[in-house]
Structure 1
Amino acid sequence: MEFSKARELIQKYRDGTLTPAEKAVLESWYLDLGKADTEPIDAEYLESHLDEVWNALPIGKKPEAKPGRVMPVFRRLAVAASVIFLVGIGAYFFYTGPGTAPVTDAIAPADVAPGVSKAVLTLADGAEIVLDSVLNGQLAKEGNTSIVKTNPGEIVYKPSAENAGEDHTLTYNTIATPKAGQFQVRLPDGTKVWLNAQSSIRFPTVFSGRERVVEIMGEVYFEVTQKKAGSRKVPFKVLAGKQLVEVLGTRFNINSYQDEGKIKTTLLEGSIKVRESDHAGGGVLLRPGQQSELVATGKANKGSKSEFDVRTVDAGAAVAWKDGFFRFDNVGLPELMRQLSRWYDMDVVYHAPIGDHEFVGQIERSAPLSKVLKILEMGDVHFRVEGKTIIVTE
């Protein structure tokens, strides 16, 4: 932002006429200024007038500064050419306090609404049930297992206690979410599952064997319930593309979208082992707060072990989608746009170089598309929406 514009915004702040959106711009610019290695123009003016602005902004307390210049206290966050701080900005656009209408009530007629709870259940005989269009209550019965819709965004599998020990033919169900959809399911063993947009899970209608195995695509979060057969613990396994996850009881997230190119597995609690599905050995053990990455396509040489890239991450950021947020932690523009594409059911076209923008912050997923794009445009990225397409213009 040009210094003349900053001076204008500072003056509007002092006059009490600064709008929330303008305050967000000023806040973002102040942070960006703090990353600069060189002394800014008119440092004395900035030091005397920006400190009072900083104290009024919701992103933190005024940094201690030496006389005559603004201290670059945020330089450590400058990991790319362009970093736009969205945490404080998002609060201006999406905070809903007492007496205010939810953001979803303010969608313009031509705007794009966010995703909702919707999915399709495919039964063992191939019959399909559109879950978002049926009423709460029992939907079907597979053997001795009842399938019950408990609320608009969840179904529960309830095995009957009667004849629980009998041997039944193994049957499978599949739940799939479309773009702009998400859903929850409680599996027959009590394990809780959240499906993000454009995802699916295939699972048996009863877990009666020596292991519990499910297969997923897309992004799925698990809270696995421990299960025993006598004194033996029954392992829970998740097949996601070329990766197999083995657990006993834990909380973790798997992102296996094909267009991401990598399978990311993030552990929140307990322990899990991740390995390639075509290798009986190898793999790595993850601790809470760790994330593994595995290239999603191709096969390792016969007899070799893939090297998983394991790093410590903010596990909360990996599962923020489940709690209703986009949370960006140095996320590049292409990855960010893929998230928006799936959640708003939009295509993305680039009419300008992508650049090396990175984004940090949090935005509510309940916001309409126009508000999300408006925030992102504060990072010198511009968009145009035509029908079902988001065009990145410059």
Structure 2
Amino acid sequence: MPKRKREEIIQELARKWQEGTITEEEKVMFNKWYHSFDDTLLEETSFENPEELRERLYRTVYEKEGIGKRRQIRFLRRVSAVAASVLLIVSFSFYLYFGHSQTEHGSLKESAHSANILPGGNRAVLTLADGSSIILDSAENGVLVNQGNISIRKSKEGQLIYQVSSQVKKAVGESLIFNTITTPRGGQYQVDLPDGTRVWLNAASMLKFPAVFSSKERRVELQGEAYFEVASAAGKGKRLPFIVVSGEQQVSVLGTHFNINAYGDEEIMKTTLLEGAVKVSKTGIKQSEILHPGQQARVGRDIKVAPVDTEQEMAWKRGYFIFDNESVQSIMRKISRWYDVDVEYKGNIQHRKYAGTIQRSENISEVLRIMELTKSIHFRIEERRVIVMP
């Protein structure tokens, strides 16, 4: 087959795989081409930074296709779809299919009762001001409860919606009653707050908010991770600030889109801004920082601001895990939350870094098989416990 024709075919297959339109026969064709590469490139341990890894992967593509230096720049543009796809393959994303094809040869060990640990889904519990609880995933669609002039209903899409009468909106009192929505491990949920703000909660998260906001500010409390699309709201002739409190961190906004990751088992809290502007502060220190779109505040002992890949930070909301130079411990914390499993480490787990993209809709066994293809780590599943081994 002429080289140009082969390149065009590979590029087309990569595009179709990304779009989800590839056939089984085409997967086999792409699989054969991919398996001529060295899959030990999955690890980033031997590289100082992700750019060095990317350069080696590109060189691998060039060498495999016999591309000379004079053609490299031109080919880089033409192969962009292939290269992007191949880099993701080497860092897990297209390995989803290969994982299926290698199941019987893989080293993942499963007990008979744990082979099909399913991914998480829309699961949450709403706790009302009087202490009563509603299990949202099993509740019928429609109005769930009325709290005075506040109607709380579940939409057919499975989201929680607060509807406040116009009379209440105009006469908001200062005596607030609070509701709390909690997602378990293996759960996620979307809620429309009384002011119209939309919130997506990730697994193992909690959001506490008033059934009707104060006339001075809109304040909520978050544990875990959530993405906010804050609605504009006015009170007494001025815009009401929206404040998210997570432990010692406080994020103040007017109307914007942002994500907060504030899990108790993570060393730092991260606030990522997509639109608008937010101010991030921390209790006990005078420092505060204003974020602009595409920036992230990392709050530990102090506040550090840096540019960030927003696609990576928002991957969970779009149904993906994206890992970038990430430790196995960090990866397993995310897997533990989403699949509702405990994690145990045995042996000397080396401090390797991994990069990759995996769909959150995959069963846990497939995700772990994909990681095992690095040949640097192995897993055993026992009931709802994952044992990590070198």
TM-score by length of 2: 0.75
Per-residue Cα deviation, 1:34-86 (whole angstroms, up to 9, x for no partner)? 9899xxxxxxxx99983279xxxxxxx9669xxxxxxxx99xx9xxxxx9612
Whether the 8 Å contact between 1:189 and 1:207 is mirrored in structure 2 is yes
Letter in 2 for 1:389: R
Looking at structure 1, the residues matched to 263 and 129 of structure 2 have their Cα atoms a distance apart, in angstroms, of 25
CA shift digits 1:11-32 (9 cap, x unpaired): xxxxx99687676554463856
Amino acid at match of 1:114: P
Tell me how far apart the structure 2 counterparts of residues 186 and 140 of structure 1 sit (CA, whole Å).
Answer: 15
Residue of 227, 235, 256 corresponding to 2:241: 235
User: 2 CA distance for matches of 1:36 and 1:189?
Assistant: 48
Deviation for aligned residue 1:191: 0.3
- TM-aligned CA distance change 1:33 to 1:171, over 3 Å: closer
Task: Answer yes or no: is 1:182 the counterpart of 2:203.
Answer: no
Residue 389 of structure 1 aligns with which residue? Answer: 385
1:93, CA displacement in angstroms? 5.8
1:29 corresponds to which letter in structure 2? D
Q: Does residue 157 of structure 1 match 2:152?
A: no
Distance 2:214 2:47 in 1: 61
1:339 aligns with 2:345: no
What are the equivalent positions in structure 2 for 1:213-224 lying under 5 Å apart?
Answer: 213-224=219-230
Are the aligned partners of 1:51 and 1:62 in contact in 2 as well (CA < 8 Å)? no
The Cα offsets for residues 147-179 of structure 1, whole Å up to 9 and x where unpaired, read as 010035311000012353235441110000001
Quote the residue 2:350 is aligned against. 355
Match of 2:39 in 1: 29
Q: 1:28 to 1:267 in 2, by over 3 A?
A: farther
| Residue in structure 2 matched with residue 286 of structure 1 by the alignment | 291
Partner of 1:42: none
Q: Which segments of 5 or more consecutive residues in structure 2 lack a partner in the other structure? A: 1-25, 49-59, 68-73, 78-82, 101-112
Asked if structure 1 preserves the Cα contact closer than 8 Å seen for 2:250 and 2:282, the reply is yes
> By how many angstroms is 1:90 displaced?
3.9
Q: Among 257, 261, 264, which residue is 1:255 paired with?
A: 261
Alignment-derived partner of residue 147 in structure 1: 152
- Mapped to 2, the partners of 1:160 and 1:249 lie a distance apart of 22
**Could you report, residue by residue, the CA deviation over 1:126-164 in whole angstroms, capped at 9, with x for unpaired residues?**
010000111100001122110010035311000012353
Structure 1 window deviating more from structure 2 (114-123 vs 323-332): it is 323-332
Q: Is the 8 A contact 1:20 1:92 kept in 2?
A: no
Distance 1:361 1:49, change over 3 A: closer
Residues 83-107 of structure 1 deviation map (CA, whole Å, 9 limit, x = unaligned): 961233246569xxxxxxxxxxxxx
Specify the code of the residue in structure 2 equivalent to 1:340.
Answer: I
Structure 2 CA distance for partners of 1:312 and 1:27, relative to 1, 3 Å: farther
Q: Report the equivalent of 2:129.
A: 124
Q: In structure 2, how many angstroms separate the alpha carbons of the residues matched to 1:288 and 1:388?
A: 39
Do the aligned partners of 2:114 and 2:383 also contact (CA within 8 Å) in 1?
Answer: no
> Is 1:133 aligned to 2:132, yes or no?
no
8 Å Cα contact 2:43-2:352 kept in structure 1: no
Which position in structure 2 is the counterpart of 1:376?
371
Measured at CA, do residues 36 and 230 of structure 1 come closer, stay the same or move farther in structure 2, by a change above 3 Å?
Answer: closer
Gaps of 5+ in 1: 1-15, 38-45, 54-60, 65-72, 78-82, 95-107, 296-305
| Displacement after TM superposition at 1:309 (Å) | 1.7
> 1:84, 1:379 within 8 Å by CA — same for their partners in 2?
no
> What value does the CA root-mean-square deviation take over the aligned residues?
3.4
Partners of 2:294 and 2:310 within 8 A in 1: yes
Pick closer, same or farther for the CA change 1:210–1:340 going to 2, 3 Å. Answer: same
Closer/same/farther in 2, CA of residues 25 and 36 from structure 1, 3 Å limit: farther
The alpha-carbon distance between structure 1 residues 236 and 355, as it changes in their structure 2 partners (threshold 3 A), is same
Of structures 1 and 2, the one scoring higher in RCO (CA 8 A, sep 6+) is 2
User: CA 1:388–1:31 in 2, change beyond 3 Å: closer, same or farther?
Assistant: closer
Does the 8 Å contact 1:236/1:246 carry over to 2?
yes
Q: Report if aligned partners of 2:42, 2:374 keep a CA contact under 8 Å in 1.
A: no
Contact 1:28 1:85 in 2 (8 A): no
Which AA in structure 2 matches 1:146?
A: S
Amino acid paired to 2:139: V
Give the match for residue 323 of structure 2: 328
C-alpha distance in 2, partners of 1:47/1:182?
39
- SS of the aligned residue for 2:170 comes to coil
Q: 367, 372, 375: which is aligned to 2:362?
A: 367
Alpha-carbon contact 2:183-2:189 (below 8 Å) kept: yes
Aligned to 1:272: 278
Instruction: Report if aligned partners of 1:24, 1:92 keep a CA contact under 8 Å in 2.
Output: no
